[in-house]
Amino acid sequence: EAGVAQSPRYKIIEKRQSVAFWCNPISGHATLYWYQQILGQGPKLLIQFQNNGVVDDSQLPKDRFSAERLKGVDSTLKIQPAKLEDSAVYLCASSLSTGRSEQFFGPGTRLTVL
Amino acid sequence: DQQVKQNSPSLSVQEGRISILNCDYTNSMFDYFLWYKKYPAEGPTFLISISSIKDKNEDGRFTVFLNKSAKHLSLHIVPSQPGDSAVYFCAASATSNYQLIWGAGTKLIIKP
């Protein structure tokens, strides 16, 4: 069974530029999560989808971050414009359902904002 | 406000000995706790969990202990093996929204 796929693996941009990350979850997983992990910290949930609907986006900085999961399968996370403090690893995870269903993580995208 | 704390950034243990990783939490609403393991350049993978109705859960070489009165949990790995070298994250959630709140991680190094 294929795991969670993410691309790109690494991205370097200048501040105020835009960037987009892509995630393809495990087939059949209804729930998809985007996390931000800043160096030296644990992952922090940015947004959670159930199929193509948003379950929780309370910690998403909506003035610059956006995410979508239009067909309830793959998802994109966008930052526009990027700030220096957005430098982090962006992890995508998926699970069969919400609640305490086990989350499976992709390898992450390491973003550096200069 | 860190609700889940892992106060040891790193831990070095001799191969074959016991590794003990610690985690403290402040939110009394947390009722489910998990440990994840992370290798470099990979995403975290689930290791073991425990519900607040239990005080111990065991899976092979891995045992998690929960002390609710102290708001403390620990992960014991016996015996430690070279492949156990990784970063270990403690995470917690409450029934109210199931969102995982993560600690900062402890890097475990198993020495030969």
pLDDT tens per residue across all 112 residues of chain B: 789 999 999 999 999 999 999 999 999 999 999 999 999 999 999 999 999 999 999 999 999 999 999 999 999 999 999 999 999 999 999 988 889 999 999 999 999 9
Paired tokens of A20: 């987009």
Mean pLDDT over each residue of chain A, to the nearest integer: 95
pLDDT, residue B110, reads 98
Q: How many CB pairs under 8 A join A and B?
A: 43
Nearest alpha-carbon partner for A81 in A23, A14, A12:
A14
Looking at the complex, report in whole angstroms how far the Cα of residue A81 sits from the nearest Cα belonging to chain B: 26
End-to-end CA distance of chain A: 37
| Distance from C-alpha of B7 to C-alpha of A97, rounded to nearest angstrom | 32
Per-residue pLDDT tens over the stretch A91-101: 999 999 888 88
CB atoms within 10 A of CB B59: 10
Average confidence (pLDDT) over A16-37: 97
A43 touches chain B (CB under 8 A): yes
Reduced to 3 states, what is the DSSP secondary structure of residue A67? strand
pLDDT, residue A2, reads 84
CB atoms B98 and A98 under 8 Å: yes
**Do residues A1 and A26 make contact, with C-beta atoms less than 8 angstroms apart?**
yes
**Do residues A81 and A18 make contact, with C-beta atoms less than 8 angstroms apart?**
yes
Q: Which residue among A41, A45, A107 places its CB closest to the CB of B42?
A: A107
B35 touches chain A (CB under 8 A): no
CB atoms B93 and A100 under 8 Å: yes
**Do residues A89 and A106 make contact, with C-beta atoms less than 8 angstroms apart?**
no
Provide, as residue numbers in chain A, all residues whose Cβ is less than 8 Å from the Cβ of B43: 4, 91, 93, 104-108
Given a cut of 70, is residue A1 above it in pLDDT? no
Nearest alpha-carbon partner for B49 in B19, B18, B29, B75:
B75
A41 touches chain B (CB under 8 A): yes
pLDDT, residue B94, reads 94
